[in-house]
Structure 1
Amino acid sequence: MGGKQKIGQVAGKNRRVLGDIGNLVIVPAVEGKPKAAQITRPATRSFCAQLLANAQAEKNKKPLAEVVNKVVPTKVQVKKAASDNLAPETVIVISPDKEVKQSPLSGRRKTKKSGKTLTSTLTARSKAACGLANRPKIDDIDAADVDNHLAAVEYVEDIYNFYKLTEDEGRVSDYMDFQPELNHKMRAILVDWLIEVHRKFELMPESLYLTMNILDRFLSVKTVPRRELQLVGISSMLIACKYEEIWAPEVNDIIHISDNAYARDQILQMEKAILGKLEWYLTVPTPYVFLVRYIKASTPNDQEMENMAFFFAELGLMNYKTTITCCPSMLAASSVYAARCTLNKSPLWTQTLQHHTGYSEDQLMESAKGLVSYHLGAAENKLKAIYRKFSSPDRSAVALFPPARNLSPTNTYTTTSS
């Protein structure tokens, strides 16, 4: 019992001692308000700082009469001030007796240093180093086809880059020396007849260009007697039509248009022989695929320009020398250039065309002169399938146009009729 009483006495003393510690502050009541119960709280550093700040604020308070004398801005004035570009440090004092004044400090930070930043300077230098600053403007020829899924705008540049890389795989070299019974005149007669057949069947232009490619590639790897040259031609067209057309001509139609010169079995056997020699490799870039792209880069939706370019391209297909010396992309680009010269387009060759074709005007000059020379002799040529085809109104009668004077060659290519 004695021990418990001692413990209680000690505890009581401790409580009284804690109550006497002077770290409590009595907050005074504000004047004019009824006295509330006194609140005590520890006088920490932050609390002391707050008390000092409140005391300073009480001293800085202005009398009520001074506040009443000032004019309070209306809502319209507030909106007007907000609509202006508020510059930093701009103070506007509105008074009924005084005009609006601006603080002298307002104009100090408005003025910014005029001059290029380091980033813009470095960007300009890097562009100049890479040649981007002086790069000519290239028209976006695919902008109108963004919503056309068949145009494949996302991949069209990659597709034509691939065509340029692989076009040499479908090219042929000079093969007439390996054909003892054939010459370039016989080939021209066959091509002239195939163009007539193509027009008679109303086939797609892709079929004609693929027919020429299959024919030349087969003649470059297989010796063909003269009596079978037409058989090779119609079999090549049959293969091309099966590849390109939705409704290809039947074998009986081929037999009929060739005046029953060959039997059905002969045509089918030659078709099999051609595919075997070419190893069924028919997906090749012909001049047609390049023509479509280059005409679009020249003057899109110009029917006269399109027909003129195809006219020169078919003249080049008929001529054996042009076929073996010009790759498909160069033949297409030369045809477009010759067409622009014939139709007096200005300029004759644009930066957009040079970008998409990869050829400059000087690189196309020689082959374009050859195409114009064929145009000069087309009316007197004995083989008139191309001339008749492009003299019709549905082809804008482009064959009747006068040849381009600036490309009239002094040393022309040998024409087909010679």
Structure 2
Amino acid sequence: MASRAIAPIEHRGENNNKAKNVLGVEGGRNRRVLQDIGNLVINQADPAANANVPKRITRAQLAAAEKTKKSIPELVNVPNVAATKAVQAVKPAEPEVIVISSDDESEVKEKQAVNGRKLRERSTKKNAKAFSSVLSARSCKAAGRIMPKDLVENIDATDKDNELAATEYIDDIYQYYKLSEDDVRVHDYMASQPDINAKMRSILVDWLIEVHRKFELMPETFYLTLNIVDRFLSTKAVPRKELQLVGISSMLIASKYEEIWAPEVSDFVCISDNAYVREQVLTMEKTILRKLEWYLTVPTPYVFLVRYIKASTPSDKEMENMVNFLAELSMMHYATVSTYCPSMIAASAVYAARSTLERSPIWTDTLKHYTGYSEEQLRDCAKLMVSFHSEAPESKLRAIYKKFCSTDRCAVALRTPAKNLFLV
């Protein structure tokens, strides 16, 4: 049978010496000598020895050369058997040459790279910026609004460890609110309502404020209730006798959406003095949901109020109550709801509240940055709110006024209205 050349295999025994010959003298005649792979570090103190070192030798050959006082070139053609016997006969001293294999060298380099990267991350961690802040800066630059860093305060800095605050996404969330608020914005619809008017709507809202307080519901429920009422009235003509039914059915829907424990249908029937029965409330609930196409996730003014109050630094309980008072008071008037969008109503409430409480400056760069509105854009809506505040003590619809005259609301309704806005 014809013989064929095969790759040398590692065998145990005496034949293993020929297979391990790295120079290929006996194991494979046609193989080339291995080239330098940079894994040999020679003692730099002996330059004469460095000049005569071959490209590739083994640790055993180095040890044998050290003990027998042979030069490195004389050891090149010596088989590995002799080197092995020399090592067994004489225990080698600590070699001066440090040999590192290619695998060890790559591992060391990898560890050094990892340690260097960790050091760089530690040094830049303090100066690292959130991705959302970078996006905000780019959007401001694209819109032509360059806000100096020293004048704009980072209102989310204290919430960076609070997962519920979602500080990485908060700017994008409110940017989406701004874009989507026009879809649910209420425009003038009274012309399409033959049997009701703006005054009747104000009476309904004043009564809903009392119901809201009676059931101790969340603020989100109140604002969503009014949004549902206005959007439904803008799509369907409602008789005067059913206006209150629309109000309690809308609050029932909003309570199911916002509250953990929503009031039952029987509670709304009872609080309306049994003016309607259970079946009427459920039928109106279905009608409203069909007309609104179950679109209930909407940005109400309260969504923006929470953010803008936070931006009004330093904020306190009195400031928060004053903003909520002016916002709720404006929501009771049809002129405000039908003219201004939710974000402008919220920003104007903050502007009017700071004027009422004589905060200086009235409008800061931080507020301008987070609201996106300037003083000039908010002044007309703020003046309208101040006029509502001035008329509140003499108005027949006093539910909101009495609510914010209590001490637990810091009695902000009793503060003198900011009439200085009319001088601007």
Instruction: Specify if TM > 0.5.
Output: yes
The amino acid across from 1:297 in the alignment is A
Shift of 1:201: 0.6
Aligned residue number for residue 348 of structure 2: 334
Shift of 1:134: 5.7
Cα distance, 1:133–1:154 mapped onto 2, change above 3 Å: closer
Q: Which of the residues 187, 190, 197 maps onto 1:173?
A: 187
C-alpha distance in structure 2 between counterparts of 1:343 and 1:386, whole Å: 19
CA deviations over 1:244-303 (Å, ceiling 9, x no partner): 000000001101100000000000000000000000000000000000000000035510
1:270 aligns to 2:305 (yes or no): no
Aligned residue number for residue 220 of structure 2: 206
Shift of 1:136: 5.7
Aligned residue number for residue 101 of structure 2: none
Aligned residue number for residue 365 of structure 1: 379
C-alpha distance in structure 1 between counterparts of 2:358 and 2:237, whole Å: 45
C-alpha distance in structure 2 between counterparts of 1:135 and 1:289, whole Å: 26
Aligned residue pair count: 286
Aligned residue number for residue 109 of structure 2: none
Contact 1:294–1:356 (Cα < 8 Å) also in 2: yes
1:183 aligns to 2:168 (yes or no): no
C-alpha distance in structure 1 between counterparts of 2:321 and 2:240, whole Å: 34
* Gapped regions of structure 2 (runs ≥ 5): 1-68, 72-140
Aligned residue number for residue 320 of structure 1: 334
Alignment of 1:225-374 (within 5 A): 225-299=239-313, 301-374=315-388
Cα distance, 1:148–1:250 mapped onto 2, change above 3 Å: same
Secondary structure of the residue aligned to 1:373 is helix
Cα distance, 1:324–1:132 mapped onto 2, change above 3 Å: closer
Q: Which of the residues 386, 393, 401 maps onto 1:387?
A: 401
CA deviations over 1:26-50 (Å, ceiling 9, x no partner): xxxxxxxxxxxxx999xxxxxxxxx
Shift of 1:409: 7.2
CA deviations over 1:56-86 (Å, ceiling 9, x no partner): xxxxxxxxxxxxxxxxxxxxxxxxxxxxxxx
Cα distance, 1:40–1:178 mapped onto 2, change above 3 Å: closer
TM-score by length of 1: 0.66
Cα distance, 1:40–1:329 mapped onto 2, change above 3 Å: closer
Contact 2:147–2:369 (Cα < 8 Å) also in 1: no
Cα distance, 1:409–1:328 mapped onto 2, change above 3 Å: farther
Shift of 1:408: 3.8
The amino acid across from 1:367 in the alignment is C
TM-score by length of 2: 0.65
C-alpha distance in structure 1 between counterparts of 2:219 and 2:363, whole Å: 25
C-alpha distance in structure 1 between counterparts of 2:295 and 2:334, whole Å: 22
The amino acid across from 1:198 in the alignment is H
Contact 1:373–1:408 (Cα < 8 Å) also in 2: no
Contact 2:225–2:254 (Cα < 8 Å) also in 1: yes
The amino acid across from 1:276 in the alignment is R
| Identity across the alignment (%) | 67
Higher alpha-carbon Rg? 1
Contact 2:301–2:343 (Cα < 8 Å) also in 1: yes
The amino acid across from 2:152 in the alignment is I
Contact 2:212–2:222 (Cα < 8 Å) also in 1: yes
Shift of 1:137: 2.4
* Gapped regions of structure 1 (runs ≥ 5): 1-38, 42-126, 411-418
C-alpha distance in structure 2 between counterparts of 1:234 and 1:409, whole Å: 41
C-alpha distance in structure 2 between counterparts of 1:190 and 1:133, whole Å: 43
Contact 2:386–2:419 (Cα < 8 Å) also in 1: no
The amino acid across from 2:172 in the alignment is D
Computed over aligned residues only, the root mean square deviation of the Cα atoms, in angstroms, reads: 2.0
